[in-house]
Amino acid sequence: MKACVFTVGCKQNEAESASLMRGLEDLGYETTAELSRADLYLLNTCAVTAEAERKSRQAVARMRKFNPEAPVIVFGCAAQHDAEAFLGKEGVRCVFGAMHKDRVLDAVREGMASVGPAEAETAFCELPMPKDVRTRAFLRVQDGCNRFCSYCLIPYLRGRSRSRKMERVVEEAQACRAREIVLTGIDLSSYCDGDRDLGDLVYALRTLPARVRLGSLEVGIVTDEFLQKVKAAGNVAPHFHLSLQSGSTKVLREMNRRYTREDYLAACRRIYALFPDAAITTDIIVGFPTETEEDFQSSLSIVGEAAFARVHAFPFSPREGTAAAKRKDLPARVKRERMARMLEVCKAAEAAYAQRFLGRTLTALFEEDGGGYTENYIRVVCENANEGGMYEVRLLEMGEGGVRAEIVKEI
């Protein structure tokens, strides 16, 4: 029997899906994350944007093209937001929300039908150990969010912030055989176990043979104390995904982001002071309803000021039920035009960051034959590198699909 666990959305979803794949294997299934013919389909959905919800709904039809007789179990944020959109689809047997994803395995094991969103979760939902991978594994340490950004549905779908016990995190990390472990959470920065915070957790993982990479961070956590703990751990990749969303202080306030443009740049300076070669990556929303051309220019200019290594830019998507959705949306043509300008600036910034390292030797983990990422998240292409391998590589020249590199030695 074969089960396909297909994931739409964030790294947290990927981590949850990997855990469910392990649970399915314990039940005797062969598992895959790729859409293909299977006897059972699990769909982990996303609702961060309208496009993510659309892709989630479309995935059901794609599954049925491979095997129209196979049952489909749908769960996650899009199912929490609009269960009816999935209940009416042929082949869908069960619909769960974003809470209590452990019940998905109960549905498979016992044939239990669960329909619609579950009640709010107040404790961290433990899932099986993730499926073994050779390269990069995602480790869930936190769920939920208390921030209530004006454009975001996730706190309403995932519930309030809750964290995993540090001892459980360390235990799972020690049992993981991946070369790199990525700590994930819906609001990773809010991780806490009693009086222990994310910096303490990172330091507790210092003896792992694997490289540790941090998921998305908020500006407020980037203090000297936190960065010193990261530095002292010694095995943390110098890559900080520091969520921005807008370069305009006015728009940040209207997004309920609770920091200013200068606060953000100050956090970047603190990172660079301890990690001069660090990659700072980010997200930027283009076309928030109140964004003027001047506000947009502030977002364009901060890309260079912060010296971003990579930017995920995307147009504002109104989400019904949020404060921002009550505002008049900008015309689609304005958002398209600004997106084009933003993508051009971001592409140049990514190239400028990578060019700094030409001629230098970095450590790279290869997720596929010939392609991988350095510790500071530069995409490299190296013909003789094998999937799952970690190498010291010398960066040679800019190229299609990444920086061309050569192997110095295998690690």
* Residue 112 in this model has a pLDDT that exceeds 70: no
40 and 75 both lie in a single domain = yes
244 and 150 both lie in a single domain = yes
Q: How confident is the model at residue 132 (pLDDT cuts 50, 70, 90)?
A: confident
Region of poorest pLDDT, from 22-26, 123-127, 138-142: 123-127
CA distance readout (Å), 224 to 7, 168, 232, 275, 363: 36, 27, 12, 12, 26
169 and 276 both lie in a single domain = yes
Q: How confident is the model at residue 110 (pLDDT cuts 50, 70, 90)?
A: confident
CA distance readout (Å), 154 to 80, 137, 189, 230, 385: 10, 23, 16, 28, 39
DSSP 123-167: S----PPPPP-SSEEEEE-EE--S---TT--HHHHH-S-EE--HH
180 beta partners:
136, 211
Region of poorest pLDDT, from 32-36, 119-123, 356-360: 119-123
Rounded to whole angstroms, the Cα distance separating 365 from 373 reads 6
Residue 395 sits in a domain of what CATH number?
Answer: 2.40.50.140
Q: Specify the higher pLDDT residue, 132 or 26.
A: 26
Q: Which two tokens stand for residue 213?
A: 């990479």
389 and 320 both lie in a single domain = no
HSE value, Cβ hemisphere, 13 Å, CA-based, for 45: 34
370 and 324 both lie in a single domain = no
User: Could you give the number of structural domains in the chain?
Assistant: 3
306 and 397 both lie in a single domain = no
Residue 282 lies in a domain: yes
Residue 124 lies in a domain: no
H or E segment to which residue 394 belongs? strand 390-399
Q: Specify the higher pLDDT residue, 113 or 165.
A: 165
Q: Specify the higher pLDDT residue, 32 or 120.
A: 32
Residue 277 sits in a domain of what CATH number?
Answer: 3.80.30.20
| Domain-ending residue, one of 116, 144, 173 | 116
* Residue 116 in this model has a pLDDT that exceeds 60: no
Confirm whether pTM is higher than 0.85: yes
Helix (H, G, I), strand (E, B) or coil at 38: coil
In this structure, are residues 180 and 103 in contact, taking their beta carbons and an 8 Å threshold?
no
Enclosing domain of residue 395? 361-410
Query: What is the per-residue pLDDT across 222-236, written as a single tens digit (0 to 9) for each?
Result: 999 999 999 999 999
Closest CA to 189 of 201, 173, 172, 180: 201
Residue 86 is predicted with a pLDDT of 94
149 and 93 both lie in a single domain = no
Query: What is the per-residue pLDDT across 355-368, written as a single tens digit (0 to 9) for each?
Result: 999 999 999 999 99
Residue 11 lies in a domain: yes
Residue 84 sits in a domain of what CATH number?
Answer: 3.40.50.2300
Residue 370 lies in a domain: yes
62 and 141 both lie in a single domain = no
* Residue 353 in this model has a pLDDT that exceeds 90: yes
HSE value, Cβ hemisphere, 13 Å, CA-based, for 313: 29
Residue 122 lies in a domain: no
* Residue carrying the six token digits 């993982």: 205
Residue 117 is predicted with a pLDDT of 58
Residue 280 lies in a domain: yes
| Domain-ending residue, one of 66, 83, 116 | 116
Residue 125 lies in a domain: no
Rounded to whole angstroms, the Cα distance separating 213 from 29 reads 30
